[in-house]
């Protein structure tokens, strides 16, 4: 199967699924979620594969949705529908993406995620949909759009680190490094960047020595415990909330900010810790780049 946004290969009982938009830090476009699901299905149907390794080409695993295009241009109104919001239309699109990402969790065969650089926003959704994360010590993971214009649709933060640390992350939009992620149990391990690939290979090889039937049964048993804790219902709520965040007064304020000053300026303000006004309010003073030249 030929992929537009991924690289896919099989070697030594492992399928390698590599996000392949390095020029955009592997940001998620309209094609990538569907191709992730297709690659997972391909690996599950292949008797030569026992383990799936999920990676990102280049210097980052995934920088989230390619919202520079969507926030600044979005001519079709996918992310901001205008004065009248159709929640079902929004939910249908985002739920499909969430289900595509979560094919990594629902995969019968184990999935191991290798994180370098960043796993941010939607990129953290992909990473946390995998069974196991191995991170570089200097990699960063988090969900900055929790500050405005987003809610993590896979809802995996609370299931990974518990309520208190999930609140610590999602009530601030902060990111943490790989070392902290491992200390919290968000990642299985954090290793020096030069050892990242070797550490992932060692774990994947160890799993790949186990018969497929055993791998499938152990994974299904563990996942079933999460299902009993209400994972599916939490995701439904989170996916609906994600649409709401983009259509609140604050969400529209962020969109107007991005349209006026560019997405990077809007994100820089969002992540700076400056106050984001309730109800939107006036935009910050416009920075004319010609004044600083």
In a domain? residue 154: yes
Least confident of 36-50, 60-74, 96-110: 60-74
* Strand, helix or coil for residue 241: helix
* Whether the predicted pLDDT of 185 surpasses 80: yes
Query: For 105-135, what is each residue's pLDDT tens digit?
Result: 999 999 999 999 999 999 999 999 999 999 9
Dihedral sign (CA 156, 143, 91, 93)? negative
Query: For 199-250, what is each residue's pLDDT tens digit?
Result: 999 999 999 999 999 999 999 999 999 999 999 999 999 999 999 999 999 9
Residue 76: its pLDDT value, please? 63
The residue to which tokens 């200097």 are assigned: 138
In a domain? residue 256: no
| Distance of alpha carbon 87 from alpha carbon 129, whole angstroms | 24
Q: What value, to the nearest 5°, has the Cα angle with vertex 270 and ends 287 and 149?
A: 120
The predicted model gives 50-62 an average pLDDT of 98
* CB distance 100 to 40 below 8 Å: no
Query: For 140-169, what is each residue's pLDDT tens digit?
Result: 999 999 999 999 999 999 999 999 999 999
**In which band, very low, low, confident or very high, does the pLDDT at 50 lie, cut at 50, 70 and 90?**
very high
| Distance of alpha carbon 92 from alpha carbon 5, whole angstroms | 22
| CA-wise closest residue to 131 among 202, 35, 52 | 52
Number of domain units in the chain? 1
Residue 111: its pLDDT value, please? 99
**CATH number of the domain encompassing residue 231:** 3.90.226.10
In a domain? residue 290: no
| Distance of alpha carbon 137 from alpha carbon 154, whole angstroms | 24
- Domain limits at 172? 6-247
* CB distance 104 to 129 below 8 Å: yes
Length of the chain equals: 293
Q: Specify the pTM.
A: 0.95
**In which band, very low, low, confident or very high, does the pLDDT at 75 lie, cut at 50, 70 and 90?**
low
């Amino acid at each position: 199967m030929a992929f537009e946004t991924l690289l896919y290969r099989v070697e030594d009982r492992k399928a390698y699924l590599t996000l392949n938009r390095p020029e955009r830090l592997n940001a998620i476009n309209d094609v990538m979620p569907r191709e992730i699901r297709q690659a997972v299905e391909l690996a599950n149907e292949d008797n030569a594969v026992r383990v799936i390794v999920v990676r990102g080409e280049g210097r980052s695993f995934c920088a989230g949705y390619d919202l520079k295009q969507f926030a600044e241009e979005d001519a079709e109104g996918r992310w901001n529908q205008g004065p009248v919001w159709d929640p079902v239309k929004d939910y249908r699109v985002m739920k499909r993406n969430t289900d595509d990402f979560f094919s990594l969790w629902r995969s019968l065969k184990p999935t191991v995620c290798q994180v370098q650089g960043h796993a941010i926003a939607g990129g953290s959704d992909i990473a946390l949909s995998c069974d196991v994360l191995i991170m570089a010590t200097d990699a960063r993971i988090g969900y900055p759009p929790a500050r405005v214009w987003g809610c993590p649709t896979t809802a995996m933060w609370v299931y990974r680190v518990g309520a208190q640390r999930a609140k610590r992350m999602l009530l601030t939009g902060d990111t943490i490094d790989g070392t902290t992620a491992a200390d919290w149990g968000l990642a299985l391990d954090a290793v020096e960047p030069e050892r990242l690939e070797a550490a992932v290979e060692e774990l994947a090889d160890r799993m790949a020595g186990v018969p497929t039937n055993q791998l499938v049964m152990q994974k299904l048993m563990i996942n079933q415990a999460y299902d009993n804790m209400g994972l599916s219902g939490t995701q439904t709520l989170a996916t609906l909330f994600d649409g709401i965040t983009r259509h609140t007064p604050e969400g529209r304020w962020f969109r107007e900010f991005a349209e006026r000053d560019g997405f990077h300026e809007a994100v820089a303000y969002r992540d700076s810790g400056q106050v984001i006004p309730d109800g939107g309010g006036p935009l910050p003073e416009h920075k004319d780049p010609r004044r600083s030249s």
